[in-house]
Amino acid sequence: MSVPNLATCTRAPYIDLDRLRKTVDGGPYDALLALAPENVPYYSGFYNIDLRLLPERLHVCIWPRGGEPAFVVVERRARLLRPEETYITDIRGYKGEGLDAMRVVTEVLHDRGIRNGLIGIEARSFPAGQLLELMRLMPGLKFEDAYHFLEGPRVIKTPAEVEVLTRVNRMTTAAIDTAFRAVRVGDTERSAIARMHAELIGNGADVIIAPLLAAGPRSGLWHGTATDLQLEEGMVLKTDFGGLLDGYYSDIARTAVVGRASPRQRDIHAKVTEIKHRIVAGIRPGMPAGDVARLGIKAYEDIGLEFKWHILGHSLGLGVHEAPQIYPWVEEPILTGMTMMIEVGYNDYPNDSFHVEDLIYLNERGAEYLTDAQAHEHIWELGL
């Protein structure tokens, strides 16, 4: 039986194969099927934008407990995959974009001696038609949603993951800053976001993934995208912007004002920035995420700003919203080695709304910024 070969895989530094193997072998599942675009790169060493662009072309990583993995992909990819593209050496191809993938998955499970037992899947990513076909082909199997179990090995980042996340998020802050410096009264939302796109790709990102930008009364829209709205003196310009590098996300939020900021705009931006700093200063390894959220909500209260917001942060990596997410009800712990976004805002739709977000790393003592939060300590006034 073939065994994983990290020696030739170019993505090997991103993956803690020992942790992954121990998780699989120590878990309750006879086999795991990973096909979510945030899990496939970790469970196979393979990454291509097709994972998100063409989800109908399934990439299925099959990890049996105590056995060796296999990788089921469309036939053409199976023929062309090179050793540096995946650490899995058992590659199987299926035909087309229909249900034939489950025939091949069934063959792999039979080869591993699995005809009955419990299979862990990602319920939110496993197409229903494909699952029904697998259930038909293998009626002895039981299926359970194992998304969070599969996510487990990814929550602690390797040094290479921290480096690539730092790099792509700094590319993103630089792209936002450059685009902001170019803004003038009379520009449009669309021209501002176009500059960010060009700058982020020019800085080295592979693709734009979060092109969110809105101004003035639109700034409070949830995930608003740019229009031909002309930017006027005194308008807030808010962006939540990011891309991918080697499959890893950036997710940076900044708020500025076109022209001179009003005292109210300066005050709210200063308060949300201070709240973000207080959250970062208060995080300690081992804290439940809910305690971090309550710390942030108390900071709103102490600083005199109504809590008109929602999430206060989330882990970041191959997924944009990884666990743990910072809500009051989440009791998963914040652990050393995690990379997280801390995001704070004030949504006053249809009035000006504000959003600031930066990347942090959890070390043994607490949290440290990985992006330059100081550059936006005070609200930027654009076009002066």
Give per-residue pLDDT as tens, 103-117: 999 999 999 999 999
Q: Specify the pairing of strand 91-94 against strand 141-145.
A: unpaired
Residue 1: the pLDDT is 52
Residue 155: the pLDDT is 96
Residue 5: the pLDDT is 81
Q: Which amino acid is at 55?
A: P
- In the chain, the domains with their CATH numbers are 12-154 (3.40.350.10), 159-382 (3.90.230.10)
Q: Where are the alpha helices (DSSP H) in 304-363?
A: none
Q: Which amino acid is at 297?
A: I
Residue 26: burial class (beta carbons within 10 Å; 0-12, 13-18, 19+): exposed
All residue ranges of the chain with pLDDT < 70 are: 1-2
E strand segments, the chain: 31-34, 60-64, 70-74, 91-94, 117-121, 141-145, 207-215, 236-245, 248-249, 252-258, 313-315, 322-325, 339-346, 354-362, 367-369, 380-382
Bond preceding residue 324 cis, omega within 30 of 0: yes
Which tens digit of pLDDT belongs to each residue from 185-223? 999 999 999 999 999 999 999 999 999 999 999 999 999
Residue 7: the pLDDT is 85
Residue 6: the pLDDT is 82
Q: Which amino acid is at 69?
A: P
Residue 2: the pLDDT is 65
Residue 327: the pLDDT is 98
Q: Which amino acid is at 383?
A: G
> Structure pTM?
0.96
d(CA 329, CA 52): 30
Residue 41: the pLDDT is 98
Q: Provide CB contacts within 8 A for 101, sequence distance 6+.
A: 58, 60, 72, 74, 94, 130
The DSSP secondary-structure symbol of 375 reads G
